[in-house]
Amino acid sequence: MPYLLVYLFVTTITLLAFNRRVSLILTGFFIFLAVMATSWLAIEVLISGVMPEIGPSGAISCDRLSAIFILIINFTAATGFIYSTGYLKPYVQSKPATWLRLHYLALVWLQISMVAVVLFRDGYNFLIAWELMTLSSFVLVIFDYDIKGTMAAGINYLVQMHIGMLFLLFALIISSKLTGSISFDSLADYFRVFPNWPVFLLFFIGFGLKAGFILLHTWLPEAHPAAPSHVSGIMSGVMIKLGIYGILRVSMYLQSDMYYIGIVLIMYSAATGLFGVMMAIFQHDIKKLLAYHSIENIGIIGIGIGLGIFGNATGNSLISVAGYTGAILHTLNHSLFKSLLFYGAGSVIQQLHTRDIEKMGGVMKFMPYTALSFLIASVAISGLPPFNGFVSEYLVYFSLFTGIGSLDFYPLLIFTVAMVSLVLIGGLAIFCFAKVFSIMFLGQPRTKLPDHTSEASAVMLSAKLLPVILIVFIGVVPALTVGPLTGITADLFAGVRLFDPEPIMTPVKYLSLAALIMVGAGLTVWLLRKLFEIRRKPVQGPTWGCGYTAVNERQQYTATSFIQEYAGLIRPLIKNGASNIIYKPEEIFPKERDFHTSSADFFRSKVIMRPANFIVNMLRKAAVMQTGNLQHYVLYALIFMVLIFLLTVLKII
């Protein structure tokens, strides 16, 4: 902790002391310095398997789980910073220089605090790092503080994160009952003696609030749209995954109740994934849509963790290893394609000055590279080959299929429901991103485009290229990633050092062969097309319209019409509607009307906002006591002292 505090103090003084340009250079220096130092440590741990202990009594410890998350954090933090250097340029004239320097400082703090979270085992230091991560991300979320709703979203996020931290504090205090040491290492002794599920539930609520599981997710669809796009990419790509890290860390110590914990987690995660993707389809705000897809993918990761815990409970190491491997690989994969999606969305928003996809269209004509990267990320998040999302989801399917072949009736029923849910999640994700990509990038512009619309800057495109490389690499050569991960998960979670990965790796090798064939076929078609273009120069013209060429921007699909049938089918589960437009018979020339659709997040409106509004109303009524009269305040103090005296005399306190 002293090293962390010194680092944060030096960065704070340095970044706030110089002008914006120098602060930007120093921000890059500090981020890449931390990235290089901690990534080197993580790579050494992954290669050697030796867990170094730093600080007194091993308070800072890096095992292979920490090493994996350090690499995930560092990659996305680096690409996010690179992207921000281009994304923030338009804000130089509109934002105070001090606010921009504070934003850079918060980026540095967020990166190092996330790394500290996965390194600290001591409870006190862990909670301090967790709090630093929350505060720095809060500053980043409220960057556009002058836009309506941004501060409310930021404060909502801050309050919910502190509620989550209280649950983590209670869980750590309870688990220190035997050893007296507030740390994750004390969980092994506690779980050996006491029932595991109550403390696991406390940890799950605390970490689940950060991750965004259903019922605990309500901050997420508000904070992501409010934040700048590079911040959304970092938060969705890696910060919410530290909730997953916490759940994985606690699950390593479980010794009883694992059967029921695994079953409940599988079903709860399946509900989370379905809810996230179903809500995402209704959204027209591109960043809010992507935020709900984060909830969907947290559900997929949760299914993998639940399968891992269940496999350990039943002694089936194949279910366990495949489930945990799928969960960790999907954590990595989601950090890649979700950050890429936010970067692509941010580039479009920067050019069109709107987040509403109903007002977009034809963007691919002037942003071809952004469109291509967004398409790759869309295919990856939909779990389609030959990209990385398909590989991690396949591992979760593999774990489910393995369980189905060796279970009794009731667990078999649970696994079947989970598998159907995963199929629905994948199908609905394809449907959603078909809508998003076609409405945003294809067709004609639905509104007048701003002047000087163009492709994103080179530095922003380079930030998108880096995730694309890994998305393609993991998808085409999955064995190079899945192989090492199975060994790590077998050792860390299943307790099997000599695990035979062949049942998992054999089909993965066939996946690699199929992916290579797909890529080869695609490249062959592209080369043939280029050869034909050499012989016959392409002629540009209007899109063929089957003999009808009078199409304008109003005569094409909108996001609302695209999902009209779906909205009718899903209405019993998710309340949605549209404005009711009525024309009176006497209106010969009807006045202009506004048509809009809506969808309600039941958990936010009923579970969170209703009690919150009740408390606010009660506080407003209590505000009548704030008279501003000094005599009244003295009277309140006197009444309080008399009350304490009476309670003491009566031995109530």
Determine the residue type at 137.
Answer: S
Q: What is the DSSP string of 143-156?
A: GGTTSTTHHHHHHH
For residues 246 and 269, state if they share a domain.
Answer: no
Give the tens place of pLDDT for each residue, 10-56. 888 888 878 878 888 888 899 999 999 999 999 999 988 777 766 65
Statement: residue 232 has pLDDT above 70: yes
Say if 11 falls within a structural domain.
yes
- The average pLDDT across 287-316 equals 93
Statement: residue 57 has pLDDT above 60: no
Determine the residue type at 274.
Answer: L
How far apart are alpha carbons 123 and 181 in whole angstroms?
8
Q: Is residue 391 helix, strand or coil?
A: helix
For residues 350 and 489, state if they share a domain.
Answer: yes
- CA 374 vs CA 43, 238, 386, 476: distances in Å: 30, 19, 15, 18
What's phi and psi for 54, nearest 5 deg?
A: -120, 140
Encode burial over 380-419: b for 16+ CB neighbours within 10 A, e otherwise.
Answer: bbbbbbbbbbbbbbbbbbbbbebbeeebeeebeebbeebb
- For position 298, what pLDDT does the model report? 96
For residues 305 and 223, state if they share a domain.
Answer: no
Say if 337 falls within a structural domain.
yes
For residues 178 and 284, state if they share a domain.
Answer: no
For residues 172 and 294, state if they share a domain.
Answer: no
Say if 521 falls within a structural domain.
no
> What percent of the chain is modeled with pLDDT above 90?
48
Statement: residue 572 has pLDDT above 80: no
Give the tens place of pLDDT for each residue, 350-384. 998 889 898 888 889 889 999 999 999 999 999 99
- For position 597, what pLDDT does the model report? 67
Say if 618 falls within a structural domain.
no
Say what the pTM is: 0.90
Determine the residue type at 602.
Answer: F
- The average pLDDT across 486-499 equals 83
Structural domain boundaries enclosing 98: 1-191+212-250
Contact 474, 391 (CB under 8 A): yes
Selection from 105, 65, 125, 73 nearest residue 235 by Cα: 73
Statement: residue 117 has pLDDT above 70: yes
How far apart are alpha carbons 97 and 100 in whole angstroms?
5
Comparing 236 with 628, the larger pLDDT belongs to 236
How far apart are alpha carbons 167 and 153 in whole angstroms?
22
End-to-end CA distance of the chain: 39
Say if 511 falls within a structural domain.
no
- The average pLDDT across 280-286 equals 90
Give the tens place of pLDDT for each residue, 602-611. 677 777 767 7
For residues 150 and 271, state if they share a domain.
Answer: no
- For position 297, what pLDDT does the model report? 95
Q: Is residue 598 helix, strand or coil?
A: strand
- For position 2, what pLDDT does the model report? 67
Contact 98, 114 (CB under 8 A): no
How far apart are alpha carbons 203 and 81 in whole angstroms?
31
Selection from 559, 557, 554 nearest residue 282 by Cα: 559
Selection from 332, 331, 270 nearest residue 306 by Cα: 270
Comparing 551 with 603, the larger pLDDT belongs to 603
What's phi and psi for 479, nearest 5 deg?
A: -60, -30
- For position 56, what pLDDT does the model report? 59
How much is the mean pLDDT over the chain? 87
Angle at 300 between CA 299 and CA 301, to 5 degrees: 90
Comparing 323 with 494, the larger pLDDT belongs to 323
Query: Is the N-terminal amide bond of 386 cis, ω within 30° of 0?
Result: yes
For residues 219 and 272, state if they share a domain.
Answer: no
For residues 224 and 365, state if they share a domain.
Answer: no
Statement: residue 491 has pLDDT above 80: yes
Contact 282, 290 (CB under 8 A): no
Q: By CB neighbour count within 10 A (0-12 exposed, 13-18 middle, 19+ buried), where does 252 fall?
A: middle
How far apart are alpha carbons 289 and 281 in whole angstroms?
7
For residues 286 and 323, state if they share a domain.
Answer: yes
For residues 102 and 230, state if they share a domain.
Answer: yes
Selection from 36, 77, 44, 40 nearest residue 63 by Cα: 44
Could you say which of 576, 607, 629 is where a domain stops?
Answer: 576
- For position 55, what pLDDT does the model report? 61
Say if 482 falls within a structural domain.
yes
- The average pLDDT across 170-176 equals 91
Could you say which of 576, 609, 644 is where a domain stops?
Answer: 576
Could you say which of 576, 610, 629 is where a domain stops?
Answer: 576
Say if 606 falls within a structural domain.
no
- For position 579, what pLDDT does the model report? 63
Statement: residue 548 has pLDDT above 80: no
Give the tens place of pLDDT for each residue, 74-116. 999 999 999 999 999 888 888 888 888 899 999 999 999 999 9
Structural domain count of the chain: 2
Say if 628 falls within a structural domain.
no
> What percent of the chain is modeled with pLDDT above 70?
92
For residues 326 and 179, state if they share a domain.
Answer: no
Number of CB atoms found within 10 A of residue 326's CB = 32
- For position 157, what pLDDT does the model report? 93
For residues 288 and 350, state if they share a domain.
Answer: yes
